[in-house]
A and B are shown apart, each in its own frame.
Chain A
Amino acid sequence: MGLLSLAIWMPIAFGVILLAFGRDSQARAVRWLALIGSVVSFLATLPLYSGFQLGTSAMQFVEKAPWIERFNVHYHLGVDGISLWLVLLTAFINVIVVIAGWEVITRKVNQYMAAFLILSGLMIGVFSALDGILFYVFFEATLIPMYLIIGIWGGPNKIYAAFKFFLYTLMGSLLTLIALIYLYTASNGSFDILTWHKLQLSGTVQTLLFFAFFAAFAVKVPMWPVHTWLPDVHVEAPTGGSAVLAAIMLKLGAYGFLRFSMPIAPDAAREWGMFIIVLSLVAVVYVGLVAMVQQDMKKLVAYSSVAHMGFVTLGFFIFNPLGVSGGIVQMIAHGFVSAAMFLSIGVLYDRVHSREIASYGGVVNTMPKFAAFALFFSMANCGLPGTAGFVGEWMVILGAVKFNFWIGALSASALIFGAAYTLWMFKRVYLGPVANDDVKALTDINAREFLVMALLAAAVLYMGVYPKPFTDVMDTSVADLLKHVALSKLP
């Protein structure tokens, strides 16, 4: 069994074991088993990094076996510089959410832990699938555990959120299924993504395919104006669900642009690049402004996620190495930072059971350790140099300025909005005198929560100070992707 298979199936196997044997009466054992499962699965992904060959854009750790012979579908896995860090990030965040849900979840603990373990395996599958159907199966299957996570452990309006999440994303991906089958036909019976990259396609076909993929990936990212599901879902999802959703699931969409839309329909991608850029700028500027007026902390971070993901898509579609690499770096950075932001909110929510900014004030007085972490993550969220948030945004802005000064300038202005809404929230929640009895009664984070925060803080700081391991891995793949996209595939 290859390393990638191990990374995919180990958490799923642990999840299935938990489902089959876990009981609420043995919640302790269930939690420990889930932790062991997630840690072991994370450790299993580390050799992917240490064994990764730099300087080639070819797929590595490739596994290929026939799966459904009738449709020539293969169990075909591999990672390149684009997907490697996303795989590691997924496994890492999985460990974090298992720890974060430790004593918070008391009902159906085995199902909760199993859902996250299975979800993490499926998402690693999405990032490493090189076969269209395999990709689609993983991509769609992620909806089931997430739907259950939101619906079972979510907030008061969880039902609405769960349905909105499922149906919204399903709508987009069904059109992608048609596109995949069309490509199967056009390539004379192959579902191999790398074969599709080489396929010649006419302009109209490329445009149609581009928009079929756009339907799935734009909803998932989510890009303005199809982002409306995200705030609703984030608000209702349990903390762990929000963290995984923001940290990983949104990246499935952005990754799809790099793996499908751009290389398969490069002419259409270039033709419609400006369209995506405009949508991204709207997300960055307008949604940033929307974030500023939110009363609900989770909603605020959700809108800020949309704005940050706007940077990612902006970076991709300016078609220069800085922009694309910056977009990928931003994806990873946002994975750490948004998870941290949601988990911070979760820490407060577990104690006070309110997400309203107005319910807090002066938290720093009662929770000094926690406030320090929160300040650090807030700084990372607004892109302070030295944190992970800075690297990606700076690369994208630099790339955008090279592409067109005004686009660069406009996107840079978003940093101001980002700082404004994040710091304003920080001020209202943490600073000032103790606002009410709830805040007065707060206890500082315990060792478990400290561990979660510290792990994420270390990752954010490391990536901010020394991003080289991240960029080194992706350089060649990004350069080759751009070379590929620059060539016309018109027959």
Chain B
Amino acid sequence: MMDTSSWMTIYPEIVLLVMACVIALADLFVKSPKRTATYALTLLSLGGVAWLHAMYADAGQTLYGFGRLVVSDPMGHWLKCFATIAVMVTLVYSRPYAADRDMLRGGEIFSLSMFALLGMSFMISGQNFIVIYLGLELLTLSSYALVALRRDHTQATEAAMKYFVLGAMASGFLLYGMSMMYGATGSLELSAVFKAVASGHVNHQVLVFGLVFIVAGLAFKIGAVPFHMWIPDVYQGAPTAATLMIGGAPKLAAFAIMIRLLVEGLLPLAFDWQQMLSFLAIGSLVVGNLAAIAQTNLKRMLAYSTIAQMGFVLLGFVAGVINGQTTLAANAYSSAMFYIVSYVLTTLASFGVIMLLARQGFESEEITDLAGLNQRSPLYAGVMAICLFSMAGIPPMVGFYAKLSVLQSLIVSGQSFYIGLAIFAVLMSLIGAFYYLRVVKVMYFDEPVTATTVSATTDVRVVLSVNGLLVLVLGIVPGALMALCADAIARMLAV
């Protein structure tokens, strides 16, 4: 079974693993307090990995490796490519922040990030319950350590603890659901599960029972209501660098395991999970948007906004199968994919600005800390404003097209329930617009409380400007990214 082509399917992951180990070792010999050498080597390796993924994705082939343990398909490679870039961007933003907070004593932040990315990669390309689960655990274990990296900080430690306990419970849910599925279908492999479920010979009750646990586990991971409790606390408590490491790239992996488990594995149960996801989405939109209004802490507000945004992503999953027909599936899931990619892009830039404004001994995480930013630095105020308008779904930012695609996927179904859901989502995003606008107001209309100028190292300035600009440019020419998502999902479904 272990032929050379199997190795080819996980070639980028092997490179990543080797480099993660090399960097962990090499860092022992780095003396610089800013870890410049480790940083450069990490970015270089990740850049290479991202390039490899892009090459694979561009080839457009679907290959299975190790007896269908993993798959190499365009959707997976694009998501892994984006996740790798997201981790790189996160590291660029994080380094000055981490250096100021005593988090760069060792180079753990780099090797842990790479291991987290490795976990994400296996979540994205897993074709087997166990592989997906192991990927997830690798990601979350690295993330726990990243959150706790600031040892002397009580809030961060508390956040790490909370994240660990709830995360472990979620993993338990997921594993329990998987074991039910295994019990019912006799296989851990997604395609075999799919066939068994589609055959109709398996007890439906057992399947739905297992499905409930899988959906609950997934909802925990993406932070959908009512499994969202950890998100605000962890986002707020963790050092912002770790917040971005949790809130950025892993969302892509979470999207991927939803596709792998629910679509590739359990599409015949779509009728059941679409209902579940509909209600999770409604809850997320309501709680996320309403609770965000009451927040004064910017990170906490963005946490609730994430919950609301994930509600929209879930909406992209609910209208794929109508009356047992899967003709609209590609349309719906590619909308969700476009949504998640644009969401990650926007999140990176917004947290980048927050980290940039933080100084030694000052976190800059209250909304009022942004007061008068436009007078202190028009550029970064502009980047933040673009991100906020994008999250609010105002054109011409990329977030508008994300919402447009998802709403379109609901309305195209022609079902009155889904059209009602679209109207509901739209009204909720009106509420959302209020709290995003409030931050814009603080930045542009209020007088600055401090005259401190904002200074950034060259790498941060360049990456942050490009990141912010991309949110706008992808809004003006969204066609290519949309086509990429549509093509990737179509190929995934065609197999």
A interface, CB within 8 angstroms of B: 19, 66-71, 108, 111, 133, 136-137, 140-141, 143-144, 147-148, 151-152, 158-159, 162-163, 166-167, 170-171, 174-175, 177-178, 181-182, 184-185
Q: Kindly state the separation between the CA atoms of A405 and B408 in the bound complex, as whole angstroms.
A: 46
> A69-B483, A140-B394, A175-B423 are known contacts. Are A184 and B408 too (CB-CB below 8 A)?
yes
Query: Is A151 a contact of B441 with CB atoms below 8 Å?
Result: yes
B426 and A178 contacting across the interface, CB-CB below 8 Å: yes
CA A255 – CA B430 in complex, angstroms? 24
Give the residue of A67, A162, A166, A185 whose beta carbon is less than 8 angstroms from that of B433. Answer: A166
> Once the chains are docked, how many angstroms separate the CA of A184 from the CA of B486?
18
For A66, the chain B residues whose CB sits under 8 A away are 479
CB pair A143–B444 under 8 Å, yes or no, is no
Once the chains bind, are B411 and A69 in contact (CB under 8 Å)? no
B47 within 8 Å of A (CB atoms): no
Cα–Cα distance between A1 and B103 once the two chains are bound (Å): 53
Question: For residue A185, which residues in chain B have a CB less than 8 angstroms away from its CB?
Answer: 411-412, 414
Q: Are A182 and B411 in contact (CB under 8 A)?
A: yes
Q: Flag if B437 contacts A163 (CB, 8 Å).
A: yes
Q: Which of A19, A71, A163 contacts B408 (CB 8 A)?
A: A71
The answer to whether A151 and B423 touch across the interface, beta carbons within 8 angstroms, is no
Contact partner of A159 among B404, B427, B441, B482, CB < 8 A? B441
Note all chain A residues with C-beta closer than 8 A to B382: 19
| In contact, B378 and A111 (Cβ under 8 angstroms) | yes
Would B408 and A181 count as touching, CB distance under 8 A?
yes
Contact sample, A vs B, 15 pairs, CB 8 Å cutoff: A68-B478, A148-B444, A152-B444, A158-B445, A162-B445, A167-B430, A167-B434, A171-B430, A174-B427, A175-B423, A175-B426, A178-B407, A178-B422, A181-B422, A185-B414
Compute how far the CA of A232 lies from the CA of B160 in the bound complex, rounded to whole angstroms. Answer: 48
* Option from A68, A108, A148, A178 in Cβ contact (under 8 Å) with B423: A178
For the complex of A and B, list the 5 residue pairs with the smallest distance between their C-beta atoms, beginning with the closest: A137-B395, A151-B445, A70-B482, A174-B426, A68-B479
Q: Establish whether residues A170 and B430, one from each chain, have CB atoms under 8 Å apart when the complex forms.
A: yes
Instruction: Determine whether the beta carbon of A70 is less than 8 Å from that of B395.
Output: no
For B483, give its contact among A70, A152, A167, A177 (CB under 8 Å): A70
Given contact pairs A181-B404, A181-B407, A147 touches B426 in the complex (Cβ within 8 A): no
Q: Given that A163-B437, A178-B407 are contacting pairs, would A151 and B444 also be in contact in the complex, using a CB cutoff of 8 Å?
A: yes
Docked complex Cα distance between A222 and B159 (Å): 49
Name which residue of chain B comes closest to A174, CB basis: B426
B441 touches A144 (CB 8 A): no
Which residues 394-435 in B have Cβ within 8 Å of A in the complex? Answer: 394-396, 400-401, 404-405, 407-408, 411-412, 414, 419, 422-423, 426-427, 429-430, 433-434
Do residues A162 and B441 form an inter-chain contact, with CB atoms below 8 A? yes
Assess whether B479 is in contact with A70, with CB atoms less than 8 Å apart. yes
* A19 CB → nearest B CB, Å: 8
Bound state CA distance, A123 and B427, in angstroms?
25
Residues of the B chain whose Cβ atoms lie less than 8 Å from the Cβ of A162: 441, 445
**Are B394 and A143 in contact, CB atoms less than 8 angstroms apart?**
yes
Nearest-Cβ distance from residue A152 to partner chain B, whole angstroms: 6
CB contacts (< 8 Å) of B396 on chain A: these are 137, 141
CA distance A147 to B443 in the complex (A): 13
Task: Give the contacting residue for A141; candidates B394, B405, B422; CB below 8 A.
Answer: B394
User: 1/0 contact trace for B271-314 toward A, CB 8 Å?
Assistant: 00000000000000000000000000000000000000000000
Q: Which of B445-495 contact A (CB under 8 A)?
A: 445, 477-479, 482-483, 486
User: For the complex, what is the distance from the CA of A111 to the CA of B444, rounded to whole Å?
Assistant: 11
Q: Which residues of A contact B378 (CB under 8 A)?
A: 19, 111
Judge if B227 is at the interface, Cβ distance under 8 Å: no
Q: How far is the CB of A109 from chain B (nearest CB, A)?
A: 12
1/0 per residue B317-351: CB within 8 Å of A? 00000000000000000000000000000000000
Q: In the assembled complex, how far is the CB of residue B360 from the closest CB belonging to chain A, in whole angstroms?
A: 29
Chain B residues contacting A108 (CB-CB under 8 Å) are 374-375
- Which residues of the partner chain B approach A68 to less than 8 Å between Cβ atoms? 401, 478-479, 482
User: Other than the known A70-B483, A151-B441, A151-B444, what 13 A-B pairs have Cβ atoms closer than 8 Å?
Assistant: A70-B479, A111-B378, A137-B396, A140-B394, A140-B395, A140-B400, A144-B389, A163-B441, A170-B430, A174-B427, A178-B407, A181-B412, A182-B411
Distance A69 CA – B422 CA, assembled complex (angstroms): 23
B408 proximity list for chain A (CB < 8 A): 71, 181, 184
Closest residue of A by beta carbon distance from B485: A70
Known: A70-B486, A174-B430. A152 touches B445 (CB 8 A): yes
Chain A residues positioned under 8 Å from B482 (CB to CB): 68, 70-71
Give the residues in chain B near A163, CB-CB below 8 Å: 434, 437, 441
Minimum C-beta distance from B472 to chain A (A)? 10
A69 proximity list for chain B (CB < 8 A): 479, 483
CA distance A67 to B378 in the complex (A): 31
The answer to whether residues A174 and B429 also contact, given A68-B482, A136-B395 and a CB cut-off of 8 A, is yes
Q: Which residues of A contact B437 (CB under 8 A)?
A: 147, 163, 166-167
Q: How far is the CB of B86 from chain A (nearest CB, A)?
A: 23
